[in-house]
């Protein structure tokens, strides 16, 4: 198990009573449902990528887990809920995992730093995710997006193609037989 995850699990369980961090039905299966699900992205991140933005980090999935698995990366967690940011700060401190936490809405995130990687899990449909990511894609043509999706991934891809040009690779989820990990590149908003 990645260093820091046992302490992370203890903090999740401790804080879950005060803040709804994860679904109550997943508390007994934190390792697979949250940690392993997040960790599967670590193997997809190409070497040489340095800055990762995690959108809507919530309890830290996948961003905090990836920061633990890939200490070579500069990980930024974007979360608008102040209480969740306090939790993320506690996890960072207690596990000695360096991350930068941005307590703001995704739309309010400054243009800097320009990321190499953007991740999100259980946040929004693909068209909305691409809308948020398009300004960064304009600034970094090599930007790679990784999104963990459920069984509706194909429908979300079709819907996103109405407003965006992009390349996508789908990988079967290692933790959900109906889920998919999407790798999205070459994002460009279509002109009206």
The correct answer on CATH 3.30.70.3280 for the domain covering 5-189 is no
pTM of the model: 0.94
Q: How far apart are CA 63 and CA 41, in angstroms?
A: 10
Share above pLDDT 70 across residues of the chain, in percent, rounded to a whole number = 99
Average predicted confidence (pLDDT) for the chain: 93
Q: Dump pLDDT digits (tens) for 8-48.
A: 999 999 998 889 888 877 777 788 788 999 999 998 998 88
Provide the edge-to-edge strand list for the sheet that holds 74-78.
100-102, 74-78, 51-55, 117-121, 144-149, 180-189, 164-172
Residue 49 or residue 187, greater confidence:
187
Per-residue pLDDT at 137: 96
- Cis preceding linkage at 152, omega within 30: no
The two structure tokens encoding residue 140: 């970094």
- Assign 167 to helix, strand or coil: strand
């Amino acid at each position: 198990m990645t260093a820091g995850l046992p302490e992370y699990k203890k903090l999740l369980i401790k804080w879950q009573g005060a803040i709804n961090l994860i679904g109550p039905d997943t508390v007994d299966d934190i390792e697979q449902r949250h940690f392993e699900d997040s960790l599967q992205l670590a193997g997809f991140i190409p070497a040489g990528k340095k800055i990762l933005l995690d959108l809507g980090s919530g309890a830290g999935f996948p961003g905090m887990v990836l920061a633990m698995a890939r200490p070579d990366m500069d990980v930024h967690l974007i979360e608008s809920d102040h209480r969740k940011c306090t939790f993320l700060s506690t996890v960072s401190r207690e596990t000695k995992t360096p991350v930068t936490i941005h307590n703001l809405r995704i739309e309010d995130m400054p243009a800097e730093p320009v990321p190499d990687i953007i991740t999100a899990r259980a946040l929004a449909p693909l068209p909305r995710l691409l809308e948020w990511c398009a300004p960064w894609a304009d600034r970094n043509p090599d930007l790679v997006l990784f999104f963990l999706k459920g069984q509706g991934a194909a429908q979300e891809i079709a819907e996103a193609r109405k407003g965006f040009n992009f390349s996508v690779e789908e990988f079967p989820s290692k933790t959900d037989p109906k889920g998919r990990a999407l790798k999205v590149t070459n994002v460009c908003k279509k002109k009206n």
